[in-house]
Amino acid sequence: MAGFRLIAEALSGRRGGRTVFEGLAFAAGPGEVLAVTGPNGAGKSTLLRIVAGLLAPASGKVALEPTPEAGIGTAVHYLGHQEALKPSFTIAENLGFWRRLYAGTGDIEDAVEDVGLGGLSHLPVATLSAGQKRRVAIARLLVATRPVWLLDEPATALDAAAEAMLGGLIDRHCAGGGLVMAAIHRPLPVEPTATIALGRVSP
């Protein structure tokens, strides 16, 4: 889906009865990288979950235009703090599950290769390190094509090489007409086209 726009207007988010940000407005289209920065508790994760449709905004709205038939969720890959992997399943089984669920067409072995875990796809996820699990979660972004990637601190637990790999994948996604929105603490290996800086709005 080329030519889409992600537009937020006067967006406010609440978390635990506390307004974490308000009056937020941004717009982005294909090929852009939005970085979301701010101190702990500034509402970065809340913002990403609101954009994904997993949380309702306190006020304002965020929309993907043109809106996909089955809601914004079907255009979105969400990489949260949890990897959403089943420990007793192998890497290939985990990725295969999400590929079928998201009606993806990407090759699982290629995706595993891309995140630097080539030859390990037969291993149960329980045997992987935190960084390797993170890599598998990133591989999930590749097995099903969805235009918007929402990444919540994607570089957590990744080593330097994997961070560079992540940068390459983000570049590739953007070059293919995708949009990336990432909550980060450390700079991404990719230069963001815009930065949304969240601060503390109210105590």
Any bridge partners for residue 194, and if so which? Answer: 34
Any bridge partners for residue 182, and if so which? Answer: 35, 151
Footprint of another protein on residues 175-194 (CB under 8 A)? none
Considering the rule CB under 8 A, would residue 55 count as an interface residue with another protein?
yes
Tokens of 59: 């006020």
Footprint of another protein on residues 69-98 (CB under 8 A)? 70-71, 73-74, 76-78, 80-86, 88-89, 97-98
Q: Are strands 59-65 and 5-15 parallel, antiparallel or unpaired?
A: antiparallel
Any bridge partners for residue 173, and if so which? Answer: none
Interface residue with another protein, options 103, 160, 161, 197 (CB under 8 A): 103
Please report how close the Cβ of residue 55 comes to another protein at its closest, in angstroms: 7
Please report how close the Cβ of residue 200 comes to another protein at its closest, in angstroms: 21
In terms of CB distance, is 114 or 152 closer to another protein?
152
Considering the rule CB under 8 A, would residue 100 count as an interface residue with another protein?
yes
Question: How far is the C-alpha of 162 from the C-alpha of 116, rounded, in Å?
Answer: 8
Question: How far is the C-alpha of 98 from the C-alpha of 200, rounded, in Å?
Answer: 36
Question: How far is the C-alpha of 146 from the C-alpha of 198, rounded, in Å?
Answer: 26
Applying CB under 8 A, the residues found at the interface with another protein are: 49, 52-55, 68, 70-71, 73-74, 76-78, 80-86, 88-89, 97-98, 100-103
